[in-house]
Amino acid sequence: MPTLCVGCGLCCDGSMFHATDLQPSDDRAPLEALGTVFVTDIHSTRFEQPCPAQVGGCCTNYEKRPTMCRSYNCALLVQVEAGELDEVDARVVVDAAAALRDRVHAGLAALEADGPRMLGSQHLTQRVVRVQQQRGSSPELSLVVDEALQLQAMIAEHFTVNAEE
């Protein structure tokens, strides 16, 4: 695992993606052993994020991870591997994003009894609406929303791979 990826996990925890598609050649057994629920439709077989194999920003299924996981490199990692960005500077970005993600998770957890851990825009919107319906607007909710929007902007700027790249 690239050292930049260790401790990040944004591509595995629901912050960037809502699901992971599987290829027919992917070994489902390690994920099934973790209790992963797979959904199959006419488009794909997939499991929703967060990935149960991701623990503390590390993949516990790294050697047998799905093809989609093997082939994905975030924009930050691409820049480091191309020599366009120093790994120390990239680690500062990863650490800032991870800290922001953790604050958003903690803030939402304090405001709601349960709910998915995903932070992608669709899931975040659903969580915010649910919290507003349950508790009404509050300064605490406004802070969580502001930090979640900062996280989404940071992901878009530093981690999302653009189609033209």
Q: Is residue 4 assigned to a domain?
A: no
Let me know whether 38 and 81 are in one domain. Answer: no
131 and 67, same structural domain? Answer: no
Domain containing 133 equals 76-158
Report the pLDDT value the prediction gives residue 165, as an integer from 0 to 100.
Answer: 47
Q: Is 92 in the same domain as 153?
A: yes
pLDDT at residue 97 above 70?
A: yes
- pLDDT tens digit sequence for 100-122: 988 988 888 787 655 555 566 56
Domain boundary among 37, 54, 71: 71
Rounded mean pLDDT, 62-89: 94
pLDDT digits (tens, 9 = 90+) for 14-55: 888 889 999 999 999 999 999 999 999 998 999 988 899 998
The residue-averaged pLDDT of 139-145 equals 84
The verdict on 98 and 151 lying in the same domain is: yes
Cα–Cα distance between 147 and 31 in angstroms, integer?
Answer: 31
Which phi and psi angles does 59 have, rounded to 5°? -85, 120
* Dihedral angle of Cα 51, 46, 4, 119, to the nearest 10 degrees: -60
Contact of 20 with 69, CB cutoff 8 Å:
yes
Query: Quick one: 40 and 54 in the same domain?
Result: yes
**What does DSSP assign to residue 145?**
H
